[in-house]
């Protein structure tokens, strides 16, 4: 079954962000049953607070699209790259349940 995939990254520096987005994109392209377009499906915020969603334009856009069913899977390097606040993370997972499959944590 084909999965529509987005990648998300949040780091402090632009150079590290570019490297990590490239690595996550490479992973997403390497899985045959994952549908991924690096120009449309890669999201990143630089210099953001990982404690909240507000103020992270790329994450807000990604969540909005995921809620509308555009993505089945979100790929992140580490869970804390998405949100460090467990309560907000669990709320996000709950909001998206039934619309998508989940997260893939690359751990690289």
Global pTM value: 0.83
pLDDT at 93: 81
CA 44 to chain CA mean position, Å: 8
- 56 three-state secondary structure: coil
How do residues 65-107 score in pLDDT, each as one tens digit?
A: 998 999 998 898 888 777 887 888 888 888 887 766 666 767 6
Element holding 89 (H helix, E strand): helix 86-96
How do residues 22-44 score in pLDDT, each as one tens digit?
A: 999 999 999 999 999 999 999 99
For each of the domains in the chain, give its residue range(s) and CATH number, in order of start: 11-105 (3.40.50.1390)
| Alpha-carbon gap, residue 47 to 44, rounded angstroms | 10
Element holding 95 (H helix, E strand): helix 86-96
How do residues 47-71 score in pLDDT, each as one tens digit?
A: 877 778 888 899 999 999 998 999 9
């Amino acid at each position: 079954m084909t999965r529509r995939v987005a990648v998300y990254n949040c780091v402090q520096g632009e150079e590290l962000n570019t490297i990590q987005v490239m690595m996550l994109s490479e992973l997403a392209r390497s899985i045959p049953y994952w549908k991924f377009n690096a120009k449309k499906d890669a999201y990143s915020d630089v210099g953001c607070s990982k404690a909240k969603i507000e103020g992270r334009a790329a994450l807000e856009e990604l969540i909005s699209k995921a809620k509308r069913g555009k993505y089945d899977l979100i790929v992140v390097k580490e869970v804390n790259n998405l949100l460090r606040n467990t309560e907000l993370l669990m709320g996000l997972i709950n909001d998206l349940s039934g619309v998508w499959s989940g997260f893939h944590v690359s751990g690289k």
